[in-house]
Amino acid sequence: MAIASATQMLIDAATGKYCIGAFNITCFVQMEAVIETAIEKRTPVIVQTSVTPAQFHTPEVIVAVYRTLAERASVPVCLHLDHCEEIDFCKRCADAGYTNIMIDGSHHDYEQNVRVTREVADYCHKLGDVSVEGELGTVGGVEDQISVAEDEAQLADPKLAADFVNRSGVDLFAPAIGTAHGVYVTENPKIDFERFATVQQIINPNGNIRIPLVVHGGTGLKPEVVKRLVASGGAKFNVSTDLKHTLIDTTFNYINDHRAEYNPGRVDKAVKNAIKQRVAYYIDLLGSEGKAK
Ligand code: 13P
């Protein structure tokens, strides 16, 4: 049985200076591809859904498929709800069996962000081993139903970080540091490594990891950037856009090349193989291969 909550998995990662891939899926072929790759690479892994696919498939169905796949996996697998702004939907997903919930209160003013995050954290902690991620500052770009213009994105204020973590009760903390959702518009996005390291030192002083840090906007970051973020204590690394593009491009190319075939199983197979290659690329980059206990 490999159903797992994220907190301990991510504390182990940050302590061991590697990072866990958190992959957004929109369909079950992608979920199978992520979990199969994790098994092959012997790594813990996080499967995540944004709100739209969770609403479309329903949290209960997603959890049923997740549990079936995770229970027979030989590695720990979490199921995370990504960037949910609605308290009630966070609670529904936690009730259904998601193991981690991200309440995204970053569009609120600071005090309201603390309040909504606290409400979800208290609810999830009462349910049991359900961990909660909160965000301070805003991540630019488009993620599912949330769109933040790059020039309106605000980096996390390190001075508020400890207060936010303590008062909101989160288990995982996502400070905005200049990464963005979607495809980066510039070749060298300005990532504030210093801010990230400062936040890490404030929240988890001297490498004593209590609240692991999350990196959003994983698609398109150069390998040297990713490695630097991992070395600075990034414990969870979110990838979404890459897997969406891989799904669409592979489907399009397969059908284009096999126009007369009409064999959906072969399209699924092509998609699964392509997703597995992308997931393997990130696992290698994040250094988590072989880390499943
Ligand atoms: P990308 O879409 O840039 O991969 O970002 C994923 C993410 O951070 C999801 O929360």
- The string of DSSP letters for 63-118 reads HHHHHHHHHT-SS-EEEEEEEE--HHHHHHHHHHT-SEEEE--TTS-HHHHHHHHH
Cα–Cα distance between 122 and 127 in angstroms, integer?
9
- Is the CB of 82 inside a 6 Å radius of any atom of ligand 1? yes
Closest atom of ligand 1 to 83 CA is 10
- Is the CB of 239 inside a 6 Å radius of any atom of ligand 1? yes
Closest atom of ligand 1 to 242 CA is 4
82 is catalytic: yes
Cα–Cα distance between 132 and 130 in angstroms, integer?
7
Q: List for the chain the helix, strand, coil content (%; round to 5).
A: 50, 15, 30
Among protein residues, the one whose CA lies closest to atom 8 of ligand 1: 216
Q: Taking the complete model, does pTM exceed 0.85, yes or no?
A: yes
Instruction: List the end-to-end C-alpha distance of the chain, in Å, as a whole number.
Output: 13
Cα–Cα distance between 156 and 166 in angstroms, integer?
15
pLDDT computed for residue 1 by the predictor: 58
- What's the gap in Å between 260 CA and the centre of ligand 1? 35
234: CB partners within 8 A, 6+ apart: 14, 19, 196, 213, 214, 215
Contact present, 194 and 154 (Cβ < 8 Å): no
For the purposes of burial, counting CB atoms within 10 Å of the CB of 72, is it exposed (0-12), middle (13-18) or buried (19 or more)? exposed
Cα–Cα distance between 214 and 22 in angstroms, integer?
10
pLDDT computed for residue 218 by the predictor: 97
Ligand 1 mutation pick, 143, 172, 278, max ligand atoms within 8 A of CB: 143
DSSP-assigned beta bridge partners for residue 46:
22, 78
Phi, psi of 62 (to 5 degrees): -60, -45
Contact present, 236 and 288 (Cβ < 8 Å): no
Per-residue pLDDT of the chain (293 residues; tens, 9 = 90+): 599 989 999 999 999 999 999 999 999 999 999 999 999 999 999 999 999 999 999 999 999 999 999 999 999 999 999 999 999 999 999 999 999 999 999 999 999 999 999 999 999 999 999 999 999 988 778 888 888 776 667 899 999 999 999 999 999 999 999 898 999 888 888 999 999 999 999 999 999 999 999 999 999 999 999 999 999 999 999 999 999 999 999 999 999 999 999 999 999 999 999 999 999 999 999 999 999 98
224: CB partners within 8 A, 6+ apart: none
